[in-house]
């Protein structure tokens, strides 16, 4: 407990480019950019494949293989290839980490919609894109949001590795603390990362409550 008091009670940790606010903003920048890029890639692809039913097996297998890729190893590889003049060596591995849960959950969510509901939508005269946007996506939304939440938490936790290659983020407190045997910094940085992940978890829980219709939520619980 003294380590926490020493870390959070030190005014030097709250100001300057190496202070908690700046490190938090850096961590948020890396995480948010990686998550947005993953969303732009994975959700349209998941919706397309889930709606058409083509390539589903390939998607699932590829996504599961991607999950096995070591993020730290990819980070070191991209640093060697691209250098540290930009944040690309960090963003690329994070995007690759974030895509599989979003892609698989989006695909499974759309594919798992009751076929009778899909047929009823077509019977009402809706076309392919309208069926997808008005029927399939709203019903699949709980699974899609679950994939987003899993990816966001993984990205927030893994962004810590940016500090290994000299970039910023909350991981700086952990890495630098180990290097200098400043264990108050290690513990404080770890607590900040955990709190950040918990905030992300709560944020997505709130988003799901306000964006998913009660009928769909009740249907998911029954299943």
**pLDDT at residue 124 greater than cutoff 90:** no
Q: What pLDDT was estimated at residue 128?
A: 66
Q: What pLDDT was estimated at residue 156?
A: 92
Q: Where residue 217 falls among pLDDT bands split at 50, 70, 90? A: low
Q: What is the dihedral of CA 3, 9, 10, 16, to 10 degrees?
A: 120
Round the average pLDDT of the chain to a whole number and report it: 84
Identify the residue with better confidence: 21 or 67.
Answer: 21
| Domain total of the chain | 1
- Please write the tens of the pLDDT for every residue from 3-22: 888 899 889 889 888 899 99
DSSP of 144-186, one letter per residue?
HHHHHHHHHHHHHHHGGGGGGGT--STHHHHHHHHHHT-HHHH
Q: What pLDDT was estimated at residue 116?
A: 77
- CA–CA gap between residue 52 and residue 128 (Å, rounded): 9
Structural domain of residue 155, as residue ranges? 2-222
Percent of the chain with pLDDT over 70: 93
Residues 6+ apart with CB under 8 A from 39: 102, 148
**pLDDT at residue 221 greater than cutoff 60:** no
Q: What pLDDT was estimated at residue 191?
A: 94
- Please write the tens of the pLDDT for every residue from 96-123: 889 999 999 999 888 888 777 777 877 7
CATH number at residue 45: 1.10.3720.10
- Please write the tens of the pLDDT for every residue from 134-185: 788 888 899 999 999 999 999 998 888 888 877 889 999 999 998 898 999 9
Which 3 state secondary structure label does DSSP give 70? coil
Percent of the chain with pLDDT over 90: 36
Q: What pLDDT was estimated at residue 223?
A: 45
- CA–CA gap between residue 211 and residue 139 (Å, rounded): 11
Calculate mean pLDDT across residues 14-34.
Answer: 92
């Amino acid at each position: 407990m003294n380590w926490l008091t020493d870390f959070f009670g030190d005014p030097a940790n709250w100001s300057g480019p190496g202070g908690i606010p700046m490190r938090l903003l850096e961590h948020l920048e890396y995480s948010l950019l990686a998550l947005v890029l993953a969303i732009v890639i994975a959700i349209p692809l998941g919706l397309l494949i889930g709606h058409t039913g083509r390539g589903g097996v390939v998607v699932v297998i590829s996504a599961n293989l991607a999950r096995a890729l070591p993020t730290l190893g990819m980070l070191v590889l991209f640093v060697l290839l691209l250098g540290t003049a930009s944040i690309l060596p960090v963003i690329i591995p994070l995007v690759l980490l974030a895509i599989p849960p979003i892609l698989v959950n989006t695909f499974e969510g759309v594919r798992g919609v009751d076929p009778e509901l899909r047929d009823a939508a077509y019977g009402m005269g809706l076309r392919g894109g309208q069926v997808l946007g008005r029927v399939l996506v709203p019903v699949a939304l709980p699974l899609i949001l679950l994939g987003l939440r899993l990816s966001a938490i993984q990205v927030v936790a893994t962004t810590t590795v940016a500090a290994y290659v000299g970039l910023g983020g909350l991981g700086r407190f952990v890495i630098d603390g180990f290097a200098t045997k400043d264990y108050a910094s290690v513990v404080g940085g770890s607590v900040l990362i955990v709190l950040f992940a918990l905030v992300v978890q709560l944020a997505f829980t709130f988003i799901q409550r306000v964006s998913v219709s009660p009928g769909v939520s009740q249907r998911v619980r029954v299943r």
